[in-house]
């Protein structure tokens, strides 16, 4: 009986070691702040990427994005920012937004591509949603996004 328990204990320790090794290879992502935004009558929830590590990670490696959920990128400077889709599984649409909260342009992006999708004018924000989200709601350039003033300051 002791031999059997020792074997079982050794097996459990081995499995625990494999689990720990697997978790060590996958960096833990700390949760990003979440906020509500409004575009006309449409309300959405956005995770906020306001620092370099979060902006670099974005929506990479995720397999799905719930409806009415997205990611707001808050940039440190107003510029002609661009986005791409390396390691991103979800087809997305990105709205580039100026400092006043007005959408400058919206671009559709395909998964696993290195194509650059750029703002047509200097912007402070970008909002990624499931591809077609803006189009399905009749939201285009010139639409105003409410709630951006509550976004964390970029760093």
Q: What is the mean pLDDT of each run of 10 residues along the chain (155 residues)?
A: 47 40 42 96 98 94 96 98 95 98 98 96 98 98 98 94
Distance of CA 94 to the CA centre of its chain: 11
Handedness of CA 53, 55, 56, 57 (dihedral sign): positive
Distance of CA 130 to the CA centre of its chain: 11
Counting Cβ atoms within 10 Å, is residue 102 exposed (0-12), middle (13-18) or buried (19+)? middle
Based on its alpha-carbon atoms, the radius of gyration of the chain, rounded to whole angstroms, reads: 20
Report whether 83 contacts 128 (CB < 8 A).
yes
Class of domain 34-150: mainly beta
Number of H helices, E strands in the chain: 3, 9
Q: How many residues does the chain have?
A: 155
- pLDDT of 72 reads 98
Domain locations in the chain as residue ranges: 34-150
Helices (H), 60-137: 133-136
- pLDDT of 29 reads 53
Helices (H), the chain: 2-25, 52-57, 133-136
How many CA within 13 A on the CB side of residue 27?
Answer: 8
- Measure the CA–CA gap between 151 and 141, rounded to whole angstroms: 21
């Amino acid at each position: 009986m002791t031999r059997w328990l020792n074997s079982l204990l050794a097996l459990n320790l081995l499995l625990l070691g494999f689990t720990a090794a697997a978790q060590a290879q996958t960096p833990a992502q700390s949760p990003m702040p979440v906020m509500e935004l409004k575009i006309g009558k449409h309300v959405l929830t956005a995770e906020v990427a306001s620092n370099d590590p979060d902006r670099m990670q974005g929506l990479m490696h995720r397999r799905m994005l719930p409806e009415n959920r997205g990611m707001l990128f808050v940039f440190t400077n107003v510029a002609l920012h661009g986005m791409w889709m390396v390691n991103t599984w979800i087809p997305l649409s990105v709205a580039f937004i100026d400092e006043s909260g007005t959408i400058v342009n919206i671009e559709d992006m395909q998964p696993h591509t290195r194509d650059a999708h750029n703002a047509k004018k200097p912007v402070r924000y970008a909002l990624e949603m499931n591809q077609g989200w803006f189009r399905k709601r009749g939201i285009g350039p010139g639409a105003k996004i409410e709630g951006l003033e509550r976004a964390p300051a970029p760093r």
